[in-house]
Amino acid sequence: MPPANGAAAAAGASSGRDGPGAAVTKRNKPRYRAFTQQQLPACKPILAPHMVIPVLIFLGLICIPIGLACIAASNKVVEVVYRYDKKCVPGNMLHNKVAYIQNASIDKTCKIILRVPRDMKRPIFIYYQLDKFYQNHRRYAASRSDAQLQDPKQAAASTEFCKPEAYSSKGSPIVPCGLVAWSLFNDTYSFARRRRRGGHTEALTVIKSGISWRSDRERLFGKHVFPKNFQNGSLVGGGQLDPTKPLSEQEDLMVWMRTAALPRFRKLYGRVEADLGAGDLLAVAVRNSYNSYSYEGRKAVVLSTAGLLGGRNTFLGRAYVVTGVACFALALILTLLCLVFPMKEEHLHLR
């Protein structure tokens, strides 16, 4: 008898679940809400010509003056660029530039003369420019160790991405390791000015401090990390580092290790705190040590002032002007279309 009663109870429960009420509880229909049913108040403007044309004209009136102002600010920047990679190679070595740059017995110093086209107010920034150097290459950009740059205890523990410049021939870790540091730019420049009025020559001091990012000096490059075994291998890539100075004080390295996104780039070499007059002559003594000839690259020295938007670059201004002209052109086209093909009656009711 108890099993029978239990079976009956189970049957009753089963029939209860299969009743009309059970169908309601199984439904997945959400509760009615304006949000879930997408019935909230919304702005649904109809882009009629009488609305679009004024907006395009307004955008054109904004973009063109901004673009012209950017171009004017860029044109105020005075810039002197001189390519010297061929100029500094002796005539008898032009057919084999790689042999010239790799021969340590040949004097690599050359002198060039630059003329200042317009007055240049201090500070005057000095850059070196490289072409066809792909710092954005994946394997090159990853060949470094930021942990090693910050902490002296990570000298040997964080070199997994630095190969082939991770360890010296004796098995000691290289600090800083990796191809980025190994290929440090090492051409040097010194400047002397000869004024247009008066033939005396005045040496200009190139200030090398403060050319890197403050975040690099204070955070990325450690104050207790010193170079070790750097450029001690059989193949020397670029410049040397002072082993007595911590990495936080070696700003040439900091500037170089901020890898560039494009194959043509400029990096800050230093600055001159002196005014130059139009027509002044600059005698530049270049020590041409960096091997850009193996990959047929080009090198140049750049002197530039700074404007409100930085260096000389008209791209931003031109982009604004082109955008403004395009808005005016679209507004004109829409106006002509409205005059030639006026809106029909059913279209006017949609406003």
Burial class for 246, CB neighbours closer than 10 Å (0-12, 13-18, 19+): middle
**C-alpha span between 165 and 149 (Å, rounded):** 15
In the predicted structure, residue 349 carries a pLDDT above the cut 80: no
In the predicted structure, residue 54 carries a pLDDT above the cut 80: yes
In this structure, the answer to whether residues 118 and 141 fall within a common structural domain is: yes
Instruction: Identify the weakest region by mean pLDDT among 17-26, 154-163, 268-277.
Output: 17-26
Q: What is the pLDDT of residue 216?
A: 93
Chain centroid to CA 270: how far? 19
In this structure, the answer to whether residues 89 and 101 fall within a common structural domain is: yes
Domain membership flag for residue 202: yes
Banded model confidence at residue 194, pLDDT cuts 50, 70, 90? confident
In this structure, the answer to whether residues 343 and 242 fall within a common structural domain is: no
Indicate left, alpha or beta for 286 from its phi (over 0: left) and psi (-120 to 50: alpha).
Answer: beta
In this structure, the answer to whether residues 99 and 231 fall within a common structural domain is: yes
Percent residues over pLDDT 70 in the chain: 89
Instruction: Identify the weakest region by mean pLDDT among 5-14, 215-224, 301-310.
Output: 5-14
Find the mean pLDDT for residues 257-282: 94
Find the mean pLDDT for residues 112-135: 95
Question: Who has greater pLDDT, 45 or 277?
Answer: 277
Domain membership flag for residue 125: yes
Domain membership flag for residue 41: no
Range of the structural domain that residue 174 is part of: 83-306
In this structure, the answer to whether residues 64 and 164 fall within a common structural domain is: no
Domain membership flag for residue 213: yes
* Mean pLDDT computed over every residue of the chain: 87
Q: What is the pLDDT of residue 347?
A: 59
Domain membership flag for residue 260: yes
Find the mean pLDDT for residues 319-323: 97
Domain count for the chain: 2
Q: What is the pLDDT of residue 11?
A: 44
In this structure, the answer to whether residues 101 and 243 fall within a common structural domain is: yes
Domain membership flag for residue 2: no
Find the mean pLDDT for residues 283-300: 94
Q: What is the pLDDT of residue 199?
A: 67
In this structure, the answer to whether residues 326 and 272 fall within a common structural domain is: no
Contacts of 3 (CB under 8 A, 6+ apart): none
In this structure, the answer to whether residues 172 and 278 fall within a common structural domain is: yes
Question: Who has greater pLDDT, 310 or 301?
Answer: 301
In this structure, the answer to whether residues 89 and 212 fall within a common structural domain is: yes
Percent residues over pLDDT 90 in the chain: 62
In this structure, the answer to whether residues 250 and 221 fall within a common structural domain is: yes
Domain membership flag for residue 126: yes
Domain membership flag for residue 39: no
In this structure, the answer to whether residues 119 and 254 fall within a common structural domain is: yes
In this structure, the answer to whether residues 88 and 72 fall within a common structural domain is: no
Q: Nearest 10 degrees: CA dihedral of 15, 16, 17, 19?
A: 80
In the predicted structure, residue 29 carries a pLDDT above the cut 80: no
**C-alpha span between 265 and 292 (Å, rounded):** 14
